[in-house]
Structure 1
Amino acid sequence: MAYVGHVSDPSAQPTTPRGPGRTARRQPAAHPDAGAAQPPARQATPTAPAASVAAAPAAAQAPALGVPIGRIPVVAVSPVVEGGRYPAKASVGERFPVRAKVFREGHDAVNASVILTSPDGVETRVDMTALPPAGLDNWEASVVLDEVGPWTFRVEGWSDPWQTWVHHAEAKLPVGMDVELVCLEGQQVLTAAAAIAEAAGRPGDAALLTGTATALTPDTAPEDLLDIALSRSVRRAMATHGPRELLSPTPDYPVFCDRRRALFSAWYEFFPRSQGAVYDEERERWVSGTFDSSHERLEAAAAMGFDIVYLPPIHPIGTAFRKGPNNTLTPGPGDPGSPWAIGSAEGGHDAIHPDLGGWDDFDRFVARATELGLEVALDLALQASPDHPWVTEHPEWFSLRPDGTIAYAENPPKKYQDIYPINFDRDPEGIYAEVLRIVRLWMSHGVRVFRVDNPHTKPVNFWAWLLAEVRRTDPDVIFLAEAFTKPEMMRTLGKVGYQQSYTYFTWRNEKWELAEYLTEVSQETAHIMRPNFFVNTPDINPTFLQSGLASAFTIRAVLAATMSPTWGVYSGFELLEHEPLRQGGEEYLDSEKYQYRPRDFDAPGNLGLLLGRLNAIRRAHPALQQLRDVTLQHVPDAEIFAFSKTATTSSGDDHVVVVCSLNPYVTRESEVYLDLAAMGLPEDAVLELVDELTGATYHWGARNFVSLSPAAPAHVLSVRAVNGQSLVTGGTGAGR
C-alpha cells in the first residue's frame, strides 16, 4: 500500500463535509500488511511447482522519507509502527488514542483532527483536544473503529481563525479595546462558517451563525457581545463548521482492526488424550481419551466462562527418540510421547492422531464447541519428529550436521532429540507453500484461532508473509505467538501481524515488576502487541504457585484476569497442581507433555468457581475488556498491588478498582490512595463500591483502608455510584 504525502495549499478548503460523522469516500486502501515478505526463491531441489505458493501481497511502502513538513507542523504522530510500514493494532469497538504534536509560528491558534478511512473508503473526522500542560503542543483524540479490516488515519493540523478570534475577543472586549475591529473580524469568521454549514446541508446551523454575525455590532455592550458570540449553541456550531485554514495533513498511516476476540478473550488449555483416558489393567497400558470423550471438558470450560479452548498438537506422534515420563529417554511401550514430536507413518501436520479419532470426530468436537459459544484453538508447531513424512519426502527442509545426521532441537542444556527443526532457508518456497496449505486445511474444519509454538525460532519475514496471506482472505483468523524470548523479537512478531502474544507475566511477582509491566503492555506496546496473560502452561510451573496454597493460585488468577483483557489457564491450575520436577525448576512433576494425566475436576477445594466468577466479572465490566485505560493506585505496603481501569460506554463510564495482596501466607493491611482525578472522577467524590467477588459493599473516598487475608486476598471493586448518583453500566456483584 502506497502512502502519498499531502502537500499543503494555503488556499485549499476542506474537501470533505465538516460534520464529525462519516464523510466522503476515498479510494479504498490497499492491504496494509506492510513489509510482508515475498516467498523467497528456491535454494534447494524443487519439490513443488512454484504456483503452489499463493502470491504475497505487494510490500507496502511507508510514507516517503523527506515529505515536506506542512504549513502547520504536525509531528510525533502515534500510533505509527516502523514509520507506517506495518499497521498499528485495533479491534472492533476498542477506544484508542491518536496523538500528535501540532503547533505553528506566532500566536494564532491551531487545531487538529484525525481523519479515519474505513476499509471501504469512507472518511470520518474526529477532532483532537489539546492536552495540558499548555505550551507542550500535545494533541489527542480517542477513536473507535467499527469494522474488521484495513483502516488508515491521518492527522490534519490547521490554523483556527475562530479560536484566534475568541482569544482576542476575550482579551479586548471587556476593556473596550478595538471593539469595531473585533466585531468585523468575528463577522468574517462566522460568515465563512455559515457558508460551510450551508454546503454541508445544515441550514439550521447556517442560519444560527449568520444571525450571530449580524448581531456582532459595535453599538452593543462589550459584555453582551461575548454572550452572543460564545453561547453554547454557537460554540457547538463553530466546532463543527469553523473554517480550517492552512490545512496540513500527514501521510495516511495504517491500522488493522481485528475482531473483538483478538483483544478480549479467556483461554482454557487441555489435552484431549488425557480427558477420558483409562488404564487397561489387562494390557497394562493406558487407553487414550478421544475428541468424543472430551465434550465434557468443553462443557466445563463453557460453564467457567471461557471463550477459547486450546488444544496442544493433535497429530500423529513419532516413535524415534520418543520421550518417556518426566522427559526421560526410556519410554515404555504404552507411553504416548510428546504431542510436539509431530509426525509418524500415520501422517504429519495434516493428519489426526488415530487414538483421538478421525476427521468426523474432530468436526463433531468443533461443532459442539460452537454450540457452547466456544472457539477451538489449534497448536501450530512447525517442527517434525524423525518419523514425519517430511523427513523422507523433503530432507532438504532440515539442517544437516557435519556427520550427516539431521540436527535435532536444542535449547542448552535442554535437548529435544524427538524433534527436528525446519530450516526455512532451504527450499523456502516449498516450505511456505506447505505451511499455508496446512493452515488453510485446519481453517476449513472450523479452526479460526492458532496458538503458534516457538515462532521466534522461525524467520520473521516468513511470519509476515504467512499472516498477510491468511489476513488477506480470512481477516477473522487469530494467531497467538508463544514466544517467551527477547523483547525486540516479541514486539516484532506483533508488528508483522500476530494478533496476540504470550508475555512475561508468569515471571512478574513483585509489586514493582507488576507495576512496570502493566504500564509497558497497556501504554508502551499496546499498539503493536496484545498481551495474553497465561497463569501457567504445560512448560511453566511458576515458582509463585509451587507452595500449592489456594491463596497463591487465587492471587495469580485475579491479577491475570484483570490486568489483561485476554488471559489463559492450563488445566490442572484449578486443582492447584504445583509439584515441580525438581526444586528451583519450572517443569511439572509427571508433566502431561509426556504421559496421560486424567484428572478429577470435581475434587474438593478446586478453583473452578473462582475461574467462573472472574470470567463473569470480565464479561460484565467493559473496563476489564480494554487494555489501555489503566491507572496505578498508590498503596504504601510493598505487598499490596492496586490499579483501576475505566471504560466509556454508551450507558456511562465503567470503573473497576483491583486491590490484591501479593503475599499468599499472611494478612496484609494498608491504606489505598485513589487518584480519582486520573479516573475521571471528582477529587472529593465518595464512591459506592461493590466487591464483585463477594458482593460486599463499601464507601470509599481518596483514602481508604484494606485488610487482605490468605482466605480473601483480593478485592475486585466496581464503582456503583458516585456521590449518591448511580454509575452502573453492568456488573454482576455476588449476592445482587
Structure 2
Amino acid sequence: MTGRPDLRLGISDVAPVVSCGSFSARAVVGEHLPITATVFREGHDAVAADVVWRSPGQDGTPQLRRMARYGQEPDRWLTTVVPDREGLWTFTVEAWSDPLATWHHAVEVKIAAGQGAGELANDLEEGARLLDRVAADGPEEHRDAVAAAAAALRDESLELTTRVAPAFAPALQQVLHDHPVRELVTASPTYEVWVDRPRALYGSWYEFFPRSEGSVVGGQATHGTFATAVDRLPAIADMGFDVVYLPPIHPIGRVNRKGRNNTLTPEPDDVGSPWAIGAEEGGHDAVHPQLGTLDDFKGFVWRAGELGMEVALDLALQAAPDHPWVREHPEWFTTKADGSIAYAENPPKKYQDIYPINFDNDPDGIYAEVLRVVRHWISCGVRIFRVDNPHTKPLNFWHWLIWEVKKTDPDVLFLAEAFTRPAMMHQLARIGFTQSYTYFTWRTERWELEEYGRELAANSHYMRPNFFVNTPDILHESLQFGGPPMFKIRAVLAAMMSPTWGVYSGFELFEHVAVRPGSEEYLDSEKYQLRPRDWAGAEAAGRSLSGYLRRLNEVRRQHPALQQLRTLHFHPVDNPNLLCFSKTDPGSSDAVVVVVNLSSRHTQIGTTALDLPALGLDWHERFSVTDELTGAHYDWGQFNYVELDPYREPAHVFSIAFPRPVQFPPAVG
C-alpha cells in the first residue's frame, strides 16, 4: 500500500519544498517567504488551511498562520512567513474542515432562495451550537458578542434576517475567521527551511589580487603584500562593495610552475598561479610569505570590516606537486600506471602545476583535514568561502562539510564556482551551497536573459545566483568588442537583475583584450603574473567606471526591491534590443522598473507594455517614476515610450512613486 491513509483531507504540491523534502529550502532573515499548497476535500463542505511555522531549536515556538486562496486555481492556498533569525525553521501545512464557513454559505443560499425560519430551524440551531464552541474556546474579550449571536439564532421571536444578522456581521465574521472551529485536521509532512543571514541573498562582490597591489619601481612591478593591499580597500568600499573576494593566498608551488600567459617555460621571477597551492612554506592553512604573515591577513580582514566589508576567501581543494600533502599523504591523489601522480586535465587543457585530490582514497583523512583548514580560516575572521570547481568533487563530501561547519558557525556562507552542467549546479545548491556562479556571462540576447531570469526566480527557494560580469578566467566577447557602453550594460543587468553580483578588478578600467582571437582568457592574465594598475591616473583621465559602479551599488542599497530575487518580473517591449523588468519588495512597498538597451552601438527606441497588476496597480493607473541614474522624472502608465542612447546612458532604473498604498501580488514562481 502506498500513500498516507491518515490524510483525511487532501494536501498536495506544498512549496517551498526541495527534492520532496530531502533537502532544506532556503530563506534569509527578514525575507517574505511564500508558502503554498493545494488543499481540497470531497463533497461541497468548506475547507481551510493553516501553516504551522516553527522557529529553530527543540523548544521553537510554533506560529499558526492562516492561509488564503490565491490565483486562478480554486484549491491553491497561500500564506507568507518572515523568519526573524538564522537557523533551521520548519513548517507543516494543516488542512481542516471549516463548519462555520459551510454553515454560513448554506444559510445565505437558503435565505436567498426564499426559505423561511421553519425550514431553517435545524440550520439555525447548528449555527448556534458552532458559536457556542467558539464562545467556550475563544478569547474572553469576544465571548459576549459570540454568545449574543448564538442567542439571536435561537430567538424565535425575531424575524429571520434579524436572527442571523449578528452572526453575519463583518466584525463577528472577523472574530470567527481568527478563531475558527477546526474539524478533521489533517497535517502534511514537516518540511525544513534553512534561514541564513541577509548577505546570503544580497551583496556586491569585488575580486582582486593583493599581490598586484605593490609599487612599480623603474617600470618593474613589485609583489604586493596585505599591508599594501589594505590601501586599496577604501576605494573598493567607496564603490559600494560589501564583499572583498581574494584568490588563494597560500604558498605557490614551484614544481611545474606556469609562466606568463600560461606558458610552460616560466622565467625565474614568474610568480605562478595562486591556484597551484602548496610549497615547502606550507599548504592550505598557510599564507604566502611574500604576502605577509597570518597576522597581516587578520589585519586585512579587520580593516575590511572597519570599512563595512567582509572578506571572502578562495577554497581550492587541489595541490601543487610540492604541497606538503603530496609528501605526507600521497594516497590522497591518483597514481598512474607508471607510478607518477596524475595532474589535472580538462582535455585539451592541461594543468601540470595542479594535482587533483582523489576523495575515494582515505575519505576520513581528507574530510577531517579540509574541515580543519576551513575552521582555521574561520578562526581568522573569514565567514565566506568561494569554492573553486566544487563540481569536480563528490557531492556527499560537500553535503557533509557544509552542514558540519554550520553546526558551529551557521553564519558561514559558501559560493559555488561551478560553471558546469545545470543538473550539477542545481544539486550543489540543493545540498547546501549558499550561492552559485551562473550562466549570466553568456546570456546576452533578450530572450536568453528573460528565460534565465525566470528560471532563477522560480528556483529561488534553494538556488541563489551571483552574477559576476567578468572573472580572471572569463572575458566574454561582448566585453572584448562592445566598447565602454557594453561595460555599463552588463553592470546594470547584473546589479539590477540579481540581488548578488560581482566584478573582477580591471572591469572598471574597461580591460578587454583577450590573449588570442576566440579566447575568453585575458591577455597578460593576472592568474600568472603581477598586474599593477594606475587607479588614480585612470580616474583623473576619465577612463574609469568606478563612479558608475558606485551609483549602481548606492541604488541597490536604497531600494530593498533590488535586494530580492523571487519578485523578478519581465515586461513586454516591442523592440527585441530593449529589456524591461521590475522588482518589488513586499516588506517596504518598494518597486523598481529597469529598461536596458542591449545594443552597445546603436540607440534603441520602443514602447513598454507594463504588467501593472504585477506592480500592485490597476491597468488604467498613472504614476510618477524617477530615473535613479540621471534624476529625470516621468509620468508613466501601462504603455511608455523609451529611447536609450548607449553612449549617453544605456539604461533607465526607475523608482516608482505610487499614487496610493499598494499590495504586491505574491511571488510564488
TM-score, structure 2 as length reference: 0.95
Pair 1:122 & 2:58 matched: no
Structure 2 residue matching 1:664: 3-state secondary structure: coil
Q: CA RMSD in A?
A: 1.8
C-alpha spacing 1:505/1:222, structure 2 compared with 1 (3 Å): farther
Equivalent AA in structure 1 for residue 172 of structure 2? V
Equivalent AA in structure 2 for residue 681 of structure 1? L
Pair 1:595 & 2:529 matched: yes
* Residue of structure 1 in register with 2:398 after alignment: 463
* Residue of structure 2 in register with 1:272 after alignment: 210
Structure 2 residue matching 1:677: 3-state secondary structure: helix
Following TM superposition, by how much is the alpha carbon of 1:535 offset from its aligned partner in structure 2, in angstroms? 0.8
Following TM superposition, by how much is the alpha carbon of 1:268 offset from its aligned partner in structure 2, in angstroms? 0.6
Give the stretch that moved more between structures: 691-700 or 270-279. 270-279
* Residue of structure 1 in register with 2:658 after alignment: 721
C-alpha spacing 1:684/1:605, structure 2 compared with 1 (3 Å): same
* Residue of structure 2 in register with 1:68 after alignment: 5
Pair 1:311 & 2:246 matched: yes
Distance in 2 between residues matched to 1:146 and 1:128, nearest whole Å: 20
Pair 1:655 & 2:594 matched: no
* Residue of structure 2 in register with 1:320 after alignment: 255
Following TM superposition, by how much is the alpha carbon of 1:330 offset from its aligned partner in structure 2, in angstroms? 1.6
C-alpha spacing 1:287/1:65, structure 2 compared with 1 (3 Å): farther
Pair 1:613 & 2:548 matched: no
Distance in 2 between residues matched to 1:499 and 1:65, nearest whole Å: 35
Following TM superposition, by how much is the alpha carbon of 1:277 offset from its aligned partner in structure 2, in angstroms? 4.1
Larger % of helix: which?
A: 2
Matches within 5 A, 1:14-93: 66-93=3-30
- 8 A Cα contact 1:721 1:728, kept in partner: no
Matches within 5 A, 1:490-639: 490-523=425-458, 525-547=459-481, 549-602=483-536, 603=538, 604-639=542-577
* Residue of structure 1 in register with 2:195 after alignment: 257
Match of 1:668 among 594, 598, 604: 604
C-alpha spacing 1:582/1:224, structure 2 compared with 1 (3 Å): farther
- 8 A Cα contact 1:179 1:218, kept in partner: no
Following TM superposition, by how much is the alpha carbon of 1:625 offset from its aligned partner in structure 2, in angstroms? 1.0
Equivalent AA in structure 1 for residue 549 of structure 2? L
Following TM superposition, by how much is the alpha carbon of 1:223 offset from its aligned partner in structure 2, in angstroms? 5.1
Equivalent AA in structure 2 for residue 476 of structure 1? D
Following TM superposition, by how much is the alpha carbon of 1:670 offset from its aligned partner in structure 2, in angstroms? 0.5
- 8 A Cα contact 1:96 1:628, kept in partner: no
Distance in 1 between residues matched to 2:461 and 2:498, nearest whole Å: 14
- Deviation track 1:11-36 (CA, whole Å, cap 9, x = no partner) reads xxxxxxxxxxxxxxxxxxxxxxxxxx
Equivalent AA in structure 2 for residue 348 of structure 1? G
Distance in 2 between residues matched to 1:715 and 1:303, nearest whole Å: 23
Distance in 2 between residues matched to 1:133 and 1:486, nearest whole Å: 35
Pair 1:131 & 2:70 matched: yes
Structure 2 residue matching 1:531: 3-state secondary structure: coil
C-alpha spacing 1:194/1:630, structure 2 compared with 1 (3 Å): farther
Distance in 1 between residues matched to 2:502 and 2:436, nearest whole Å: 12
Give the stretch that moved more between structures: 449-458 or 652-661. 652-661
Following TM superposition, by how much is the alpha carbon of 1:310 offset from its aligned partner in structure 2, in angstroms? 0.3
* Residue of structure 2 in register with 1:298 after alignment: 233
- 8 A Cα contact 1:80 1:253, kept in partner: yes
Equivalent AA in structure 2 for residue 673 of structure 1? A
Match of 2:141 among 204, 208, 220: 204
- Deviation track 1:292-321 (CA, whole Å, cap 9, x = no partner) reads 111122111111111110000000101111
- 8 A Cα contact 2:247 2:274, kept in partner: yes
Structure 1 residue matching 2:321: 3-state secondary structure: coil
- Deviation track 1:605-626 (CA, whole Å, cap 9, x = no partner) reads 3111111111111111111111
* Residue of structure 2 in register with 1:344 after alignment: 279
- Deviation track 1:239-291 (CA, whole Å, cap 9, x = no partner) reads 2101111000011111111111111111110000001242466xxx6421111
Unaligned residue ranges in structure 2 (runs of 5+): 665-669
C-alpha spacing 1:148/1:712, structure 2 compared with 1 (3 Å): same
* Residue of structure 2 in register with 1:691 after alignment: 627
Alignment size in residue pairs: 653
Pair 1:414 & 2:353 matched: no
Equivalent AA in structure 2 for residue 617 of structure 1? V
Following TM superposition, by how much is the alpha carbon of 1:206 offset from its aligned partner in structure 2, in angstroms? 2.5
TM-score, structure 1 as length reference: 0.86
Structure 1 residue matching 2:509: 3-state secondary structure: coil
- 8 A Cα contact 1:278 1:289, kept in partner: no
- 8 A Cα contact 2:482 2:601, kept in partner: no
Following TM superposition, by how much is the alpha carbon of 1:416 offset from its aligned partner in structure 2, in angstroms? 0.7
* Residue of structure 2 in register with 1:329 after alignment: 264
C-alpha spacing 1:647/1:706, structure 2 compared with 1 (3 Å): same
* Residue of structure 2 in register with 1:113 after alignment: 50
Distance in 2 between residues matched to 1:385 and 1:67, nearest whole Å: 54
Distance in 1 between residues matched to 2:5 and 2:424, nearest whole Å: 33
Identity %: 55
C-alpha spacing 1:704/1:220, structure 2 compared with 1 (3 Å): farther
Give the stretch that moved more between structures: 597-606 or 165-174. 165-174
- Deviation track 1:641-681 (CA, whole Å, cap 9, x = no partner) reads 111111112xx411111111111110111000111112222
Equivalent AA in structure 2 for residue 259 of structure 1? R
Unaligned residue ranges in structure 1 (runs of 5+): 1-63, 730-736
* Residue of structure 1 in register with 2:667 after alignment: none
Following TM superposition, by how much is the alpha carbon of 1:714 offset from its aligned partner in structure 2, in angstroms? 0.7
C-alpha spacing 1:304/1:219, structure 2 compared with 1 (3 Å): farther
Following TM superposition, by how much is the alpha carbon of 1:445 offset from its aligned partner in structure 2, in angstroms? 0.4
